[in-house]
Amino acid sequence: MSGTPTDFAGLVPRTGLGFDAHRFADGRRLVLCGVEIPHARGLAGHSDADVGLHALCDAIYGALAEGDIGRWFPPSDAALRDADSTRFLRHAAARVAARGGILVHADVTLICERPRIAPHAEAMRARIATIAGLGVENVSVKATTTERMGFTGREEGIAAQAAATVLLPFARPA
């Protein structure tokens, strides 16, 4: 994103938060933030179970006050079986544009003991930036552990939380 503050006159910032978690499953590939990661197990889910992109989509939909990922892509939809979650992020970013807005920042935190995220973080940032139409400087991907506590600490799955900031045209109440 580039421009001067006057380029964004009439737009107001809105922030959304998202969270997702999936358990590990044998026989599936592990995809995080749109990047396939070498790991012994993938994540269980109706789609590819990309917790990073799912949390980010929920953050964007939250900033738009348009529900969550399940509203737009219900797990009951058989056509979405094993779907690539980049499709969901493209949709969320397109919803921002359809509302006359601009996605200005995306921040994803992956919560897991393994795999190590740092070696893949730059590729994840670049992938999110490409999908969402952002400059990579406006995307953050990082990780933390739970110090071996809870389901992520026991390596039963991975969780993610995300925040997204959008600029939308100001709408006065009716």
- pLDDT one-digit tens code per residue, 60-71: 999 999 999 999
Taking the whole predicted model, whether its pTM rises above 0.85 is answered as: yes
**pLDDT for position 57:** 98
Each domain of the chain, given as residue ranges in start order, spans 14-168
- Residues in the chain with pLDDT < 70? 1-8
What does the pLDDT look like over 32-47, one tens digit per residue? 999 999 999 999 999 9
Residue 64 is encoded by which pair of tokens?
Answer: 């738009």
Beta bridge partners, 145, equal none
> Can you tell me the distance from the alpha carbon of 163 to that of 151, in angstroms, rounded to the nearest whole number?
22
The CA-CA-CA angle for residues 108, 110, 43, to 5°, reads 120
**pLDDT for position 72:** 96
- Reported as type and span, the H/E element at residue 71 is helix 69-72
What does the pLDDT look like over 2-22, one tens digit per residue? 555 556 678 999 999 999 999
Domain at 14-168, CATH from 3.40.50.2000, 3.30.1490.190, 3.40.50.970, 3.30.1330.50: 3.30.1330.50
**pLDDT for position 9:** 72
